[in-house]
Amino acid sequence: MRNLFPLFFLLAASLAAQPPDQIHLAWVEPPSTTLTVVWRTVDTGVPSLVEYRPAGAGAWLRAQGGIRPSGTSGVLHEVTLRSLRPGARYEYRVKGPGESWSAIHQARTAPPPGPASFDVVFLADTGMIGREDGLTTGTKQVIEEVARLDPLLVLLGGDYAYYNTDKRFGTLDNTIDAWFNQVQSIASKSVMMPTYGNHEIYLREGYLPWADRLPTPEGFDNRRYYSFDVGDIHFVSILAADSEYGPIPATAMQWIERDMAGARKAKKGWIVPFLHVAPFSDGSNHPSNLDIRAQLGPLFEKMDVKIALSCHDQSYERTYPLRGVPDAIQTTSTSKSCYSAKDGVTWLKVGPGGKMSNINGKFADFKTNPPPFYTAFRDNTAHHYARLRVSPGAIAVEVFGVQGDGRPPVVQDRFEYNRKGCPNP
């Protein structure tokens, strides 16, 4: 037995020397002048230090933070870099064990408040690469393709690891560790801001194990609802997690309305809410949540929302711009490609981002054929993610389809809202 002790200490030392991992970025404070960096070290004695500099500069600046309590093995570090230049690219590296540092990564601050150009990706329903049931046929390529797009911001729509049906990593916390490592190629250079789905909230995972890893502004109800501004857009994260569970609590709806009214008063050009469950879904696996449709439809119209992002069902659907939701639904345009400031709300359901359904073992079947009259486009033959290309006065949306076999992604759907109006057909 005594001969095992040297092996034990060698193993412990080897684990402690493991380089930093799970590096991911967030915005907790103003996005144009700050970046929050989070990473994990197995060695609990590593200080929470980040060295950073404007891209291409010589000398390093240094910022110190602290430990972010979480269930990870080792410790999770959090450091916020402040007094940064708006719309600037920075290089950074995080502290590792001993004298070591991570590789050098690049990140960007948001543009200053006001009309600006930047890219946002909406991504959800990823799952873990290499599931034994073979359902994550697109996860690896979707991650690679989003990393290649290099957006300023990634909005996460929920249903990340599917721990209830994928126990390869043992505990939930080990699985969350593995999920952050598989998305590090995105998360180390693009800020990730989440909402949460039924798998995080209801299916034996829990909100806190995930929220502990993902910094956000305080918002409401322990960060279940929060908002932030980038350029001229006010983003609102709404916890709406499942088709089978009822409406959003009244207190949360009051917060959402006050928050959006504040953005309108501040004359933000756009309000973009994102949530997990789809108020408009013709999917047979996860149909429309009609309670949430009835809550959010009138509010979004009142607040002049143009684009609402959701997911949950394993297919892609996009409505025409709508008014009169829920009881007197009308399309304000039947154009497939361009809408003006006078048009209503376009509801998107973007999924899956890598993992097919456990319910039917494939992409979701549609219930209605032909589709509902308000449907502008739909597809259930590929994995999907959406890119919002923001420019002064306009948001152009491209939805990519990926098969997961290495073939290049295909832009399956595109449209835009343009405050200056649309060209004549």
Residue at 154 is within a domain: yes
Do 88 and 40 lie in a common domain? yes
Give every CB contact of residue 286 below 8 A, 6+ residues apart in sequence.
243, 277, 278, 312, 313, 314, 364
Q: Which residues of the chain have pLDDT under 70?
A: 1-16, 243-245, 424-425
Do 272 and 338 lie in a common domain? yes
Single out the residue in 83, 108, 133 at which a domain terminates.
108
Do 99 and 142 lie in a common domain? no
Residue at 33 is within a domain: yes
Do 266 and 385 lie in a common domain? yes
d(CA 421, CA 404): 37
Do 209 and 295 lie in a common domain? yes
Do 162 and 301 lie in a common domain? yes
**In DSSP terms, which residues pair with 48 in a beta bridge?**
none
Number of domains in the chain: 2
Single out the residue in 59, 79, 108 at which a domain terminates.
108
Residue at 231 is within a domain: yes
Burial zone of 164 (CB within 10 Å; 0-12 exposed, 13-18 middle, 19+ buried): middle
Residue at 334 is within a domain: yes
Residue at 376 is within a domain: yes
Among 396, 399, 400, smallest CA distance to 417 is for 396
d(CA 250, CA 247): 8
Single out the residue in 80, 108, 136 at which a domain terminates.
108
In 3-state terms, what secondary structure has residue 173? Answer: helix
- Give Dmax over CA atoms of the chain in angstroms: 83
pTM: 0.95
Write the CATH number for 160: 3.60.21.10
Do 140 and 104 lie in a common domain? no
Residue at 10 is within a domain: no
What's the token pair of residue 332?
A: 């304000």
Write the CATH number for 32: 2.60.40.380
Does 352 sit behind a cis peptide bond, omega within 30 degrees of 0 on the bond before it?
yes
Residue position matching structure tokens 């007197």: 328
Q: What is the pLDDT of residue 204?
A: 74
Do 147 and 267 lie in a common domain? yes
Do 85 and 128 lie in a common domain? no
Q: What is the pLDDT of residue 374?
A: 98
Give every CB contact of residue 211 below 8 A, 6+ residues apart in sequence.
196, 222, 223, 224
Residue at 424 is within a domain: no
Do 244 and 364 lie in a common domain? yes
Q: Which DSSP symbol is given to 134?
A: S
Do 87 and 201 lie in a common domain? no
Residue at 245 is within a domain: yes
Burial zone of 371 (CB within 10 Å; 0-12 exposed, 13-18 middle, 19+ buried): middle
- The string of DSSP codes covering 48-81 is -EEEEEETT-SSPEEEE-EE---SSSSEEEEEEE
Q: What is the pLDDT of residue 17?
A: 82
Give me the amino acid identity at 422.
Answer: C
Helical H runs in 92-239? 139-149, 172-182, 184-187, 198-201, 207-211
Structural domain range at position 362: 118-418
Q: Report whether 384 contacts 351 (CB < 8 A).
A: yes
Give every CB contact of residue 98 below 8 A, 6+ residues apart in sequence.
17
d(CA 163, CA 81): 33
Q: What is the pLDDT of residue 9?
A: 43
d(CA 100, CA 45): 13
Do 218 and 299 lie in a common domain? yes
Q: Which DSSP symbol is given to 220?
A: B
Q: Report whether 388 contacts 405 (CB < 8 A).
A: no
Q: Report whether 256 contacts 236 (CB < 8 A).
A: yes
